[in-house]
């Protein structure tokens, strides 16, 4: 056997290693493509998303009537990826998508990056040209593994059919354990068509992968002691707690310590919004109570959260008086942005199960501080600065609907089992602020990467999950924006043809609302390239200044795809449309709500500014009364 | 790769990284340095006493905090088996340099004197040039190069540092079993 050379480290394709020397004595003879399908079946994968193409055809040929998983055909590879993400979040299982080489793989990169940022378990299988064609600029060839290095947890280039089941088993294990994330399997045509001997289960060979799940005992003691010393504790809960299914433990910890809970965007619903300890989301568009709690606390307990800039604002001014306990399964997150007093590496649920008895012990030993003054201050924030949009300046001036009112109505009338999905933009913030979240894993949104167009395909994936786990009885409501929706609206075809009915509320303000909000506040109301002409308030009567009306007409678009399209311009129409949409469960419903384009997301911390400058409304700064706060605009560090 | 970070408390650090000897590993590691904007001074890859393991030696001028972060990020790569920051007090470190000096009949003997003092070797002679091979720690190589500069350096190539700890133990002792060959 030729020895691999050190410089092989440069090359994408193994050379010289005689991989097929040993003939497995047993195992069923089949092709690599068949082995891929069989391995997915043996892993218990039930639903797969994707689009076929030249370099992945053998795999699609191996998907047959009796294949044990359902295949859902997307209309764009990015959407196939987002659908797999939505499915993964809704079900807690690994999302799987299969696409072809080259452009399909590059289309999928956005979804892979999104899954990487939000730690979503996903296996992305891409076709690749034959081994001998690699590096020749062959038709539809792209260096998928090379392109995706920075945005995956791990990736494989499979050159031999015999490797297929082991690689699939390893990929699944890597994607779903430790800090979850996307794993790419780039499957050469050589590996798909080659013959191999299939055996299951496979022995995983992962010497460099040992995620820590259990906490170090000493650290737990230290953390418990800090709890007993604190007068103003806060639990800052992030998406890691959702991924770890730790809502029971979070609730128990909050009840035991009396500490308030604030969450990031991804952890909305980790404990019910109706729980009195829940202060809501913190950060750039968080509640005053949540942001205020973190800024004033003396003990910050970060649980599966990563101190993102949208949460911290100006890092040096974030929670300035707090000691920090950081619980995270990824050691690299600890100390990355904020130095930590007690680092705890481990799975959130496992760590909290071990931490809670330690705290109880410490409380017995050292006693419990009275948190009443702390709660008095927080409750004052809550009553003085509630998360509502009832003030006069929040009301539309052009006769359109208030988008925040629409979201509140959607939340009020929806089935309690509803899975909420959003795109990215103003509507996403309103949804996270105003939807009443009572259950974990019922909120699906692109947090870290902020991918516009995430909504519809993710909703599709979530509904496939609902159909799998709940017989479709958990409805899926997508709250989307007109800009975000247009990025992936082609997936209405998949929703109709594959029988995946979702409910879509488009908050149509005819502009890129979030960008417009920044232009209003920080760029002198110069509305550069943010006007969309897809929902002018007077669109039904006469064309506006541009001469364009309703491009596109979302009602007609929905109907063109075989969906139900509704338009709502008044409150009566809106309530009526919501009622109809809640009653229709066999087809996708799209509601075009015409909303006010100058509606704002409040509260707001300008990007890069200290959280202390949070504005409840323009000029109202609850945490900092000095004049400096209102002068705070976008800093040069802000993005 | 040559430029070092000009941070205030930056010290020179040497990392030894054991990785699986597999295609694309170096690309993953180099990419990680680049996207976390981590400046490295030198990087050397070589096979080890175990054919399934390669060893990277990385030197960089950095402060403690970014260094810790990059070690943690490296640890997240599945092909990385072991990372050790080598303590200069218990480490033997060497670099290799080949220098082509413009030395003619007039000053050749001066250059040869330097070569002798630095225990370097002449590996090629020409009427207009001398090519010198020198090995040693970074400081020694720097000193030699400073002195040769005076005569006119025509061409220069320098390897990254390689380093091992003193004493009888091997870094790869900590990587147990022959798990890797199972592929």
How do residues A86-118 score in pLDDT, each as one tens digit?
999 999 999 999 999 999 999 999 999 999 999
Pick the closest to residue A407 from A501, A506, A487 (CA basis). A506
Kind and range of the H or E element at A184?
Answer: strand A182-188
| Cβ A291 vs Cβ A236: under 8 Å | no
Interface of B with A (CB under 8 A): 19-28, 31, 35, 45-47, 51, 54, 65, 68-69, 72-73, 75-81, 175, 177, 179-180, 182-183
Give, in words, the CATH class of B92-162.
Answer: alpha beta
User: Cα(first)–Cα(last) distance of chain A, in Å?
Assistant: 54
| Cβ A411 vs Cβ A441: under 8 Å | no
Instruction: Write the burial class of residue A590 (CB in 10 Å: 0-12 exposed, 13-18 middle, 19+ buried).
Output: buried
DSSP string, A239-256: HHHHHTT-HHHHHHHHHH
Which of A77, A85, A170, A632 is catalytic? The answer is A77
Residues of chain B with CATH 3.30.70.260: 11-86
The string of pLDDT tens digits covering residues A611-629 is 999 999 998 999 987 767 6
Tokens of A394: 């929040």
Find the CB nearest B31 among A6, A149, A335.
A149
Judged by average pLDDT, the poorest of A199-208, A344-353, A578-587 is A199-208
How many angstroms separate the CA of residue A419 from the nearest CA in chain B? 33
How many angstroms separate the CA of residue B124 from the nearest CA in chain A? 28
Homologous superfamily (CATH) of B11-86 is ACT domain (3.30.70.260)
Sort out which chain A residues have CB atoms less than 8 A from B21's CB and list them: 4, 6, 8-9
| Cβ A176 vs Cβ A244: under 8 Å | no
d(CA A600, CA A520): 10
Contact: A331, B65; criterion CB under 8 Å: no
| Cβ A489 vs Cβ A456: under 8 Å | yes
If one counts every other C-beta atom within 10 angstroms of the C-beta of residue B70, the result is 22
Residue B4: pLDDT over 50: no
State percent of chain B over pLDDT 70. Answer: 91
State percent of chain A over pLDDT 90. Answer: 88
d(CA A4, CA A17): 6
pLDDT of residue B172: 83
How many angstroms separate the CA of residue B117 from the nearest CA in chain A? 34
Pick the more confident residue, A459 or A633.
A459
Q: Is A514 a catalytic residue?
A: yes
Sort out which chain B residues have CB atoms less than 8 A from A6's CB and list them: 21, 45-47, 54
How many angstroms separate the CA of residue A6 from the nearest CA in chain B? 5
Three-class SS state of A98 = strand
| Cβ A305 vs Cβ A238: under 8 Å | yes
DSSP B179: G
Per-residue pLDDT, averaged over B115-124, amounts to: 94
Tokens of A210: 């040992």
For residue B2, name the pLDDT band (cuts at 50, 70, 90). very low
Give the number of residues written for chain B.
Answer: 183
d(CA A626, CA A435): 33
Per-residue pLDDT, averaged over A363-377, amounts to: 95
Residue B129: pLDDT over 80: yes
What is the predicted ipTM?
Answer: 0.88
The string of pLDDT tens digits covering residues A16-31 is 444 444 555 688 999 9
Residues of chain B with CATH 3.30.70.1150: 92-162
pLDDT of residue B24: 87
pLDDT of residue B1: 35
Contact: B78, A209; criterion CB under 8 Å: yes
d(CA A591, CA A578): 8
| Cβ A54 vs Cβ A43: under 8 Å | no
Sort out which chain A residues have CB atoms less than 8 A from B20's CB and list them: 207-208
d(CA A199, CA A168): 12
CA distances from A443 to A88, A227, B127 (A): 12, 30, 78
The string of pLDDT tens digits covering residues B67-106 is 999 999 999 999 999 999 999 999 999 999 999 999 988 9
| Cβ A105 vs Cβ A142: under 8 Å | yes
The string of pLDDT tens digits covering residues A311-344 is 999 999 999 999 999 999 999 999 999 999 999 9
| Cβ A86 vs Cβ A111: under 8 Å | no
Tokens of B178: 């022959």
The string of pLDDT tens digits covering residues A525-546 is 999 999 998 987 765 556 656 6
Contact: A207, B175; criterion CB under 8 Å: yes
How many angstroms separate the CA of residue A348 from the nearest CA in chain B? 18
pLDDT of residue A569: 94
Which of A34, A46, A162, A189 is catalytic? The answer is A189
Tokens of B44: 């050397």
Find the CB nearest B78 among A11, A150, A208.
A208
Residue the block writes with tokens 């998949």: A494
d(CA A287, CA A170): 42
Q: Is A487 a catalytic residue?
A: no
The string of pLDDT tens digits covering residues A170-192 is 999 999 999 999 999 999 999 99
Judged by average pLDDT, the poorest of A9-13, B130-134, B152-156 is A9-13
Q: Is A189 a catalytic residue?
A: yes
Contact: A10, B26; criterion CB under 8 Å: yes
d(CA A401, CA A593): 7
Q: Is A372 a catalytic residue?
A: no
pLDDT of residue A24: 58
Across-strand partners of A594?
A508
pLDDT of residue A331: 96
Contact: B21, A4; criterion CB under 8 Å: yes
Pick the closest to residue A509 from A429, A394, A400 (CA basis). A400
Contact: B47, A336; criterion CB under 8 Å: no
pLDDT of residue B174: 75
CA distances from A394 to A84, A347, A402, A428, B146 (A): 37, 42, 8, 17, 71
**Mean pLDDT score of chain B, rounded to an integer?**
88
Contact: B79, A157; criterion CB under 8 Å: no
If one counts every other C-beta atom within 10 angstroms of the C-beta of residue B76, the result is 19
Contact: A9, B27; criterion CB under 8 Å: yes
Write the secondary structure of A331-373 as one string of H (helix), E (strand) and C (coil).
HHHCCCCCCCCEEEECCHHHHHHHHHHHHHHHHHHHCCCCCHH
Interface test with B, best of A4, A5, A9, A204 (most B CBs within 10 A): A9
Residue A72: pLDDT over 80: yes
| Cβ A43 vs Cβ A172: under 8 Å | yes
Interface test with B, best of A1, A4, A6 (most B CBs within 10 A): A6
Which of A8, A41, A69, A140 is catalytic? The answer is A140
d(CA A155, CA A113): 13
The string of pLDDT tens digits covering residues A217-270 is 899 999 999 999 999 999 999 999 999 999 999 999 999 999 999 999 999 999
Find the CB nearest A336 among B45, B47, B69.
B69
Contact: A146, B27; criterion CB under 8 Å: yes
Instruction: Find the closest chain B residue to A5 by CA distance.
Output: B47
CA distances from A231 to A46, A220, A271, A624, B91 (A): 49, 19, 23, 22, 49
d(CA A262, CA A278): 6
Residue B133: pLDDT over 50: yes
Q: Is A10 a catalytic residue?
A: no
| Domains (range + CATH), chain A | 27-198 (3.40.50.970), 217-384 (3.40.50.1220), 392-594 (3.40.50.970)
The string of pLDDT tens digits covering residues A398-438 is 999 999 999 999 999 999 999 999 999 999 999 999 999 99
């Amino acid at each position: 056997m030729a020895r691999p050379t050190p410089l092989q480290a440069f090359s994408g394709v193994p050379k010289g290693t005689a991989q097929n020397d040993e003939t497995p004595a047993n195992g069923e003879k089949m092709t690599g493509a068949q082995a891929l399908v069989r391995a997915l079946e043996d892993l218990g994968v039930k639903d797969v998303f994707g689009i076929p193409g030249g370099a992945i055809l053998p795999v699609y040929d191996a998907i047959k009537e009796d294949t044990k998983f359902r295949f859902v055909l997307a209309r764009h590879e990015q959407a196939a990826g987002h659908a797999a993400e939505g499915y993964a979040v809704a079900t807690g299982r690994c999302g799987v998508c299969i696409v072809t080489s080259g452009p399909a793989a590059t289309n999928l990169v956005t979804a892979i990056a999104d899954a990487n940022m939000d730690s979503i378990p996903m296996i992305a299988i891409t076709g690749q040209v034959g081994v001998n064609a690699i590096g020749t600029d062959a038709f539809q060839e792209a260096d998928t593994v090379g392109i995706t290095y920075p945005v995956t947890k791990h990736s494989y280039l499979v050159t031999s059919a015999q490797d297929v089941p082991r690689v699939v088993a390893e990929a699944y294990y890597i994607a779903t354990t430790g800090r979850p994330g996307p794993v790419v399997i780039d499957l050469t045509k050589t590996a798909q068509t080659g013959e191999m001997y299939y055996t299951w289960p496979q022995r995983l060979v992962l010497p460099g992968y040992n995620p820590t799940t259990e906490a170090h005992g000493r650290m737990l003691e230290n953390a418990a002691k800090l709890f007993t010393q604190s007068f103003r504790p806060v639990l800052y809960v992030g998406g890691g707690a959702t991924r770890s299914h730790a809502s029971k433990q979070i609730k128990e910890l909050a009840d035991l310590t009396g500490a308030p809970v604030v969450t990031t965007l991804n952890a909305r619903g980790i404990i019910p919004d109706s729980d009195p300890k829940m202060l809501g989301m913190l950060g750039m568009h968080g509640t005053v109570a949540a942001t205020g709690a973190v800024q004033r606390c003396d003990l910050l307990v970060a649980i599966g959260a990563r101190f993102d800039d949208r949460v911290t604002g100006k890092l040096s001014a974030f929670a300035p008086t707090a000691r920090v306990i950081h619980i995270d399964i990824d050691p690299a997150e600890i100390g990355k942005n904020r130095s930590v007093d007690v680092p705890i590496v481990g799975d959130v649920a496992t760590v909290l199960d071990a931490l809670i008895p330690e705290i109880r012990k410490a409380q017995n030993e050292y006693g419990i501080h009275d948190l009443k003054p702390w709660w008095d201050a927080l409750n004052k924030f809550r009553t003085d600065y509630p998360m509502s949009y009832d003030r006069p300046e929040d009301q539309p001036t052009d006769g359109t609907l208030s988008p925040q009112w629409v979201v509140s109505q959607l939340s009020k009338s929806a089935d309690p089992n509803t899975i909420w999905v959003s795109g990215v933009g103003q509507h996403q913030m309103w949804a996270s602020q105003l939807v009443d979240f009572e259950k974990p894993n019922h909120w699906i949104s692109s947090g870290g990467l902020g991918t516009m167009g995430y909504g519809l395909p993710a909703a599709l994936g979530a509904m496939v999950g609902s159909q799998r786990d709940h017989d479709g009885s958990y409805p899926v409501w997508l709250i989307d924006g007109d800009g975000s929706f247009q990025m992936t609206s082609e997936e209405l075809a998949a929703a109709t043809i594959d029988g995946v009915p979702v409910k879509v509320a488009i908050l149509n303000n005819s502009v890129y609302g979030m960008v417009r909000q920044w232009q209003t506040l920080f760029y002198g109301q110069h509305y550069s390239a943010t006007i969309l002409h897809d929902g002018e308030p007077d669109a039904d009567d006469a064309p506006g200044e541009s001469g364009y009306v309703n491009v596109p007409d979302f009602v007609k678009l929905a109907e063109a795809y075989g969906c139900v399209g509704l338009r709502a311009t008044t409150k009566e129409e809106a309530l009526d449309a919501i009622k109809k949409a809640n009653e229709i469960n066999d087809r996708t419903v799209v509601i075009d709500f015409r909303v006010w384009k100058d509606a704002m997301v409040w509260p707001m911390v300008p990007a890069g500014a200290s959280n202390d400058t949070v504005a409840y409304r323009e000029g109202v700064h609850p945490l900092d009364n000095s004049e400096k706060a209102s002068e705070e605009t976008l800093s040069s560090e802000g993005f | 790769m040559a430029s070092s970070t000009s941070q205030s408390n930056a010290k020179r650090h040497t990392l030894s990284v054991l990785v699986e000897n597999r295609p694309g590993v170096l690309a993953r590691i180099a990419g990680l340095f680049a996207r976390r904007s981590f400046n490295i001074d030198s990087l050397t890859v070589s096979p080890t006493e175990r054919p399934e393991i390669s060893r990277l030696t990385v030197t960089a001028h950095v402060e403690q905090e970014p260094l810790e972060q990059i070690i943690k990020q490296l640890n997240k790569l599945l092909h990385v088996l072991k990372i050790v920051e080598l303590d200069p007090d218990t480490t033997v470190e060497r670099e290799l340099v080949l220098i082509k000096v413009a030395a003619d009949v007039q000053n050749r003997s001066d250059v040869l004197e330097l070569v002798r003092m630095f225990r370097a070797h002449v590996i090629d002679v020409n009427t207009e040039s001398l090519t010198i091979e020198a090995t040693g720690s970074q400081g020694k190589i720097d000193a030699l190069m400073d002195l040769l500069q005076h005569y006119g350096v025509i061409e220069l190539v320098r390897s990254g540092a390689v380093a091992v700890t003193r004493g009888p133990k091997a870094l790869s002792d900590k990587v147990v079993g022959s798990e890797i060959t199972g592929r």
